[in-house]
Amino acid sequence: MVKNLTEGNPLKLLFFFALPMVVGNLFQQLYNMVDSMVVGRFVGEDALAAVGSSFPVVFLAVAVAAGLSMGCTVVISQLFGAGQIREMKITVSTALISLGVVGLVIMGLGELAAEPLLNLLGTAKDIMPDSLAYLRIYFGGAVFLFLYNSLNGIYNALGDSNTPLRFLMVSALTNIVLDLLFVIKFNMGVAGVAWATLIAQGLCAFISFFVLVRRLMRMENEEAKRGLKFTFFELPAARRIAKIGIPSMLQQSIVSLSMMFMQGLVNSYGKVFVAGYTAATKIDTLAMLPNMNFSNAMSSYTAQNMGARRDDRVHQGYKACMFMVFIFSLIITAIIYLFGPQLLGLFLNQGAEGSAMSYGLSYMKTVSVFYILMGFL
């Protein structure tokens, strides 16, 4: 359902708009988390280390997709808030074509660069075959990753965070079933969880696309009534998206590059250290979801209100967003300190070395105290 973010209490609007986004991103994170949980518990530490070693490269691809989709969200939100429906539809079409092409390019580059990147990270030789298999299969579905992120951004731009949540729930459940089927039933190991992720992401992208097309076709505009021609791609629209999306992409890519640097250091300490670090980073990623999605909700809220010339509401929304960041950061930090070992136990099997648990717990407790600062940034 399309939602107007220019009216109503900012705190209530942002919370209930961000809530489905948090849950939706939780399901999106389940792709890689379930991969790690299944291989860690049913295959072993080597398989978990293999998936973990490839994660920084996967995160870089996600950062590029998410950064570019932010350009889609902001531009489309502004047009929707201003009531420029025809221009909004053209921008939607332009965004999907542009990010689809970028996804194809990343798919090709990823296949070629997978092994050099893993070597650069210092991936251990005994887990290299599994890491390489996981990464190459994942990049094979890069176009689905980019299309889904752009579609998710478009739904958020229209004030609808519930529809993507439904798609992600179906996709995540599909991924879980396929993970268990491919690993336990067919003994496909790390390659099995990679194929499960690719299939589930493709399903989510296709469903999201067809539902969005039907929704846009029902949205009337005065220009169409006057017989003005609709174009599927306009260079000015692509430039507007790139103007916002590229800086956002670079910002998120810097974070992912720092993760790659960290992974290289971690790999030098051996696979037990890698296993503990991998388990901890999965929980760390989940812990940051609320603050990340409050920020995404604020972007759509700000863009719609700026488009409607309601600048006064932007400042009110900012204060509401910072309040939510503060409260949720305190709660999450407390949960990690109280239940850290139990959370790590979801990824490390009972036969895992105690040092892996110790490494992971030290990492989690250290980074959790900075969640408030990261939320404000």
pLDDT tens, residue by residue, 49-99? 788 778 778 888 888 888 888 888 889 988 887 788 888 899 999 999 999
Q: What percent of the chain has pLDDT over 90?
A: 13
64's tokens: 């590029």
Round to whole Å and give the CA distance between 212 and 202.
16
Instruction: Convert 209-231 to b/e letters by CB count within 10 Å (16 or more is b).
Output: bebbeebeeeeebebeeeeeeee
300's tokens: 């759509």
Round to whole Å and give the CA distance between 375 and 298.
12
Instruction: Name the CA radius of gyration of the chain, rounded.
Output: 21
Collect all residues with Cβ–Cβ distance below 8 Å to 126 and sequence separation of at least 6: 46, 271
Please provide residue 299's backbone torsions phi and psi, each rounded to the nearest 5 degrees: -65, -50
Q: How confident is the model at residue 303 (pLDDT cuts 50, 70, 90)?
A: confident
The distance of Cα 107 from the centroid of its chain, to the nearest Å, equals 17
Half-sphere exposure of 168 (CA within 13 A, CB side): 23
Per-residue pLDDT at 199: 92
159: left (phi over 0), alpha (psi -120 to 50) or beta: left
Angle at 67 (CA atoms; ends 151, 323), nearest 5 degrees: 95
- Residue-by-residue DSSP string for 257-318: HHHHHHHHHHHTT-HHHHHHHHHHHHHHHHHTHHHHHHHHHHHHHHHHHHHTT-HHHHHHHH
Round to whole Å and give the CA distance between 301 and 161.
12
Which of the residue ranges 13-27, 58-72, 177-191, 344-358 would you say has the lowest mean pLDDT?
A: 344-358
Which of the residue ranges 24-33, 108-117, 276-285, 322-331 would you say has the lowest mean pLDDT?
A: 24-33
Round to whole Å and give the CA distance between 329 and 331.
5
Q: How confident is the model at residue 352 (pLDDT cuts 50, 70, 90)?
A: low
Instruction: Convert 268-304 to b/e letters by CB count within 10 Å (16 or more is b).
Output: eeebbbbbbbbbbbbbbbbbbbbbbbbbbbbbbbbbb
Q: Is residue 117 scored above 70 in pLDDT? A: yes
**5-26 pLDDT tens trace:** 777 888 888 888 888 777 777 7
* Residues 186 and 192 sit within 8 Å (Cβ to Cβ): yes
- What's the pTM? 0.73
Average pLDDT on 285-314 reads 80
11's tokens: 């705190």
Q: Is residue 221 scored above 60 in pLDDT? A: no
